[in-house]
Amino acid sequence: GQRMLGFEKDEAATILRAAAQATSSVYRWVPLLCAQSGARVSEVCQLRAEDIRCEDGIWYMSFRPEAGSLKNDGSERKVPFHPHVLEAGFLAFVRSKGRGPLFYDPNRRRPGAKKPQPKIVAKNVAAWVHRLGIDVGRKEHRKDPNHAWRHLFKTLGRDAGIQDSVLDAITGNSAPTVGREYGETWLTTASRAVARIQLPGLTEPETNLAA
């Protein structure tokens, strides 16, 4: 009874639908980006406009140490955008920011503040999810309001028939064996995989939400 859990489909649908209606850019985009990539919330919250790039026609998030601390070597990676994210206007939001952090203003950092701004943003997102009335909480429900996306992404990926090695490359998980460390997951491969993910409440048929 200690293992952390991912969101259920109906919980994810509630959050993503609320995010689609949010006026705050943080609540609008951070949950959606976590859902479509399985990225750690800290990685998403420290993204900068210059970390959103295009290569061979594929738009992606580049998780790099220049934006902030990463957990391990595998955390430095390129994660393509889900088609729904692009259709929802995320690139227009990025262009409106010009350069620098997407989800916080470095100029608003208080003198002497100890906690990094991306962590404050992540905490605010967690509090927003709590206010939606979803049963989240690490101790009482074994479900972190931010990290549960990472668990759900793996579940949705397996349901879509995506290889675990590809899912690991997208989420930045270390390969479990030496053999799995060989080779690379190309951006084109990751892009096709991400596009197959059915985002609950957004790209998944209503009749499947309770499955």
Identify the burial level of 74 via C-beta atoms within 10 angstroms of its C-beta, where 0-12 means exposed, 13-18 middle and 19 or more buried: middle
Among residues 175, 170, 207, the alpha carbon closest in space to that of 185 is found at: 170
User: Which of the two residues, 22 and 183, has the higher pLDDT score?
Assistant: 22
CA gyration radius for the chain?
17
pLDDT at 14 over 90: yes
Q: Averaged over 105-131, what is the pLDDT?
A: 88
* pLDDT grade for 135, boundaries at 50, 70 and 90: confident
Q: pLDDT per residue over 156-206, tens digit each?
A: 999 999 999 999 999 997 766 655 666 789 999 999 999 999 999 999 775
Q: What is the dihedral of CA 124, 135, 11, 122, to 10 degrees?
A: 20
* pLDDT grade for 207, boundaries at 50, 70 and 90: very low
Q: pLDDT per residue over 31-72, tens digit each?
A: 999 999 999 999 999 999 999 999 999 999 999 988 878 877
Which tokens belong to 176? 């479990």
Q: Tell me, what's the pLDDT at 91? A: 98
Task: Specify whether the CB–CB gap between 16 and 201 falls below 8 A.
Answer: yes
Query: How far is 195 from 190, CA to CA, in rounded Å?
Result: 9
Owner of token pair 């690490």: 138
* Reported pTM: 0.89
Q: Which residues contact 84 (CB under 8 A, 6 or more apart)?
A: 36, 199, 202, 203
